[in-house]
């Protein structure tokens, strides 16, 4: 990908020196948070990674270049430019060919991270199988990318607007390994638990790193999904969540919202219905996931050196 993939000086040096690096998506900055708080959070997450001893690699496409690692001005551009598109993996070749700019979703971020040689990513929640799949056949591209890309993705499960049981079944079909971090329950994004169980539990970053090493030894090329729940004290109140979710789904159906517009519509409806509490739970999950991703990257780097 020479000439297409641009590594920041900080990321390039870290990778050359085999130091830990954590990939971060940029859609949460460009489309997921209100301005100017989005820029504050973007900088906070990068600094959190550094505090844990790893190098942050926020990923975006700017002027037709896939940028792995952004400088301060580029982070500010992603946060402040309303014209940036939302780019999944399928959009990458078109955006690069046409010189476009956009923020990367989980699918695009994971793909570009792997292309750069980055093994760990931290995010809020991944996409999955949408409710009513039998009628709409609506499934996030995140799942297919996870099935073919060897990156450890730390998330608070899948967005709770989705069909969680169906998503877990799909991950199993795609041979994506799923482990709960210090939990036997699959997280519910805004909620500590979705009510679904996980087959495997890991207790430390070192155990996650050991799983990653075994993936390498076995030649497995799919992702490792590390399901890290938002702390119970910071989760959205379950009753409030269920009530707001029902209202969001009803409004989407009545307004005929579907396709790529559905997820943003549901998430913004939840923010309004919960008076911003869902946004705070989302941020609590993101912070915890990014911190854990950095700890895993450090542990995996130590394993690799050993």
Q: Which of 235, 263, 259 is nearest to 249 (CA)?
A: 263
Token pair of 161 as six digits: 């607007």
Task: Give the chain's length.
Answer: 306
**155 neighbors 167 (Cβ within 8 angstroms):** no
**30 neighbors 86 (Cβ within 8 angstroms):** yes
- Output the CA–CA distances (angstroms, integers) from residue 106 to 60, 129, 166, 234, 282, in the order listed: 11, 15, 19, 23, 15
Q: Measure the CA–CA gap between 178 and 90, rounded to whole angstroms.
A: 24
- Burial of residue 264 (number of CB atoms within 10 Å: 0-12, 13-18, 19+): middle
Helix or strand (DSSP H, E) at 186: strand 185-188
Catalytic residues: 25, 159
Q: What is the DSSP letter of 126?
A: B
- Burial of residue 43 (number of CB atoms within 10 Å: 0-12, 13-18, 19+): middle
What count of Cα atoms within 13 Å lies in the side-chain half-sphere of residue 235? 21
Q: Which residues of 95-116 are buried (b: 16+ CB within 10 A; e: fewer)?
A: bbeeebbbbbbbbbbbbbbbeb
Q: Which residues of 122-153 are buried (b: 16+ CB within 10 A; e: fewer)?
A: bbbbbbbbbbebeeeebbbbbbbbbbebbbbb
């Amino acid at each position: 990908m020479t000439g297409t993939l641009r590594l920041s000086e900080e990321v390039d040096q870290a990778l050359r020196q085999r130091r830990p690096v954590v990939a971060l998506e940029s859609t949460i900055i460009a489309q997921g948070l209100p301005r100017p708080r989005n820029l504050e959070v973007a900088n906070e997450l990068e600094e959190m990674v550094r505090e844990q001893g790893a190098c942050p690699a926020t990923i975006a496409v700017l002027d037709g270049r896939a940028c792995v690692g952004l400088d301060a001005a580029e982070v500010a551009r992603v946060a402040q430019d309303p014209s940036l598109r939302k780019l999944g993996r399928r959009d990458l070749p078109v955006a690069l060919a046409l010189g476009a700019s956009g923020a990367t979703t989980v699918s695009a971020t994971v793909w570009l991270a792997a292309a750069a040689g980055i093994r760990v990513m931290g995010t809020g929640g991944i996409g999955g199988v949408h409710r009513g799949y039998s009628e709409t056949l609506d499934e996030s591209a995140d799942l297919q990318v996870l099935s073919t890309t060897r990156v450890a993705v730390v998330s608070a499960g899948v967005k709770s607007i989705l069909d969680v049981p169906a998503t877990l079944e799909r991950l199993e079909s795609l041979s994506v390994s799923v482990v709960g971090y210090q939990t036997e329950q699959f997280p519910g994004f805004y909620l500590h638990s979705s009510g679904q169980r996980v087959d495997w539990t890991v207790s430390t970053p070192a155990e996650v790193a050991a799983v990653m090493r075994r993936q390498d030894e076995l030649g497995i090329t799919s992702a490792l999904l590390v399901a890290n729940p938002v702390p119970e004290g910071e989760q959205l109140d379950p009753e409030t969540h269920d009530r707001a979710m029902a209202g969001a789904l009803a409004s989407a159906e009545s307004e005929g919202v579907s396709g790529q517009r559905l997820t943003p519509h549901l998430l913004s409806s939840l923010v309004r219905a919960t008076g911003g509490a869902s946004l705070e739970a989302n941020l609590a999950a993101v912070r915890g996931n990014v911190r854990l991703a950095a700890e895993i990257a450090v542990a995996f780097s130590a394993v690799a050196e050993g």
